[in-house]
Amino acid sequence: MQQLDNLDWISISLYFLLLIGIAVWVIRKKEDNTEDYFLAGRNIGWFVVGASIFASNIGSEHVVGLAGTGASNKLPLLIYEIHAWVVLMLGWVFLPFYARSGVFTMPEFLEKRFDARSRWVLSIFSIVAYVLTKISVTIYAGGVVVSALLGIDFWTGAIATVVLTGIYTVLGGMRAVVYTETLQAILLVVGAAVLTFIGLDKVGGWGSMVDTLGPEYFNMWRPATDPDFPWPSLFITSTIVGIWYWCTDQYIVQRTLTARNIKEGRRGTIFGALLKLLPVFLFLIPGVIALTLKMRGELHWDNADEAFPVLMSNLLPSGLRGLVAAGLLAALMSSLASVFNSCSTLFTVDVYKKLRPNAPEKKLVRTGQIATVFVVIIGIIWIPIMANISGVLYEYLQSVQSYIAPPITAVFLLGIFYKRINATGAFYTLVMGIVVAFLRITLELVKHNLDADGVLFYLGDMNFLTFGAWFFLFCLIFMVVVSLLTKAPDKEQIVNLTFGTITEEEKKRNKSSYNWVDVTVSIIIILIVIGIMIFFNGK
Q: Structure pTM?
A: 0.85
Q: Among 165, 133, 332, which residue's Cα sits nearest to residue 250?
A: 133
Cα–Cα dist 145/141, whole Å:
6
pLDDT attached to residue 132: 67
C-alpha triplet 102, 104, 109: angle, nearest 5°: 70
CB 49 within 8 A of CB 256: yes
Q: Environment class of residue 335 by beta-carbon count within 10 Å: exposed (0-12), middle (13-18) or buried (19+)?
A: buried
CB 289 within 8 A of CB 311: yes
Q: Domains along the chain?
A: 44-536 (1.20.1730.10)
C-beta atoms surrounding 303 within 10 Å: 16
Q: Among 409, 257, 270, 250, which residue's Cα sits nearest to residue 341?
A: 250
Cα–Cα dist 352/340, whole Å:
16
Per residue of the chain (539 residues), give pLDDT as tens.
Answer: 567 778 888 888 888 888 788 778 877 765 556 666 655 556 678 988 898 888 778 766 677 778 888 888 788 888 888 899 999 999 999 999 998 888 888 999 999 999 999 999 998 888 877 776 677 777 776 777 677 667 777 677 777 777 777 776 777 666 677 777 777 777 778 888 888 999 999 989 989 988 888 888 888 888 888 888 899 999 999 999 999 989 998 878 988 888 888 999 999 999 999 999 988 888 888 889 988 998 888 888 877 777 887 888 888 888 888 877 777 777 777 777 777 777 888 888 888 888 888 888 788 878 888 887 887 787 677 666 655 544 445 556 667 788 889 999 999 999 999 999 999 999 999 999 999 988 888 888 787 788 888 888 888 888 889 999 999 999 999 999 999 999 999 988 899 899 989 999 989 988 898 999 999 999 999 999 999 999 888 77
pLDDT attached to residue 254: 83
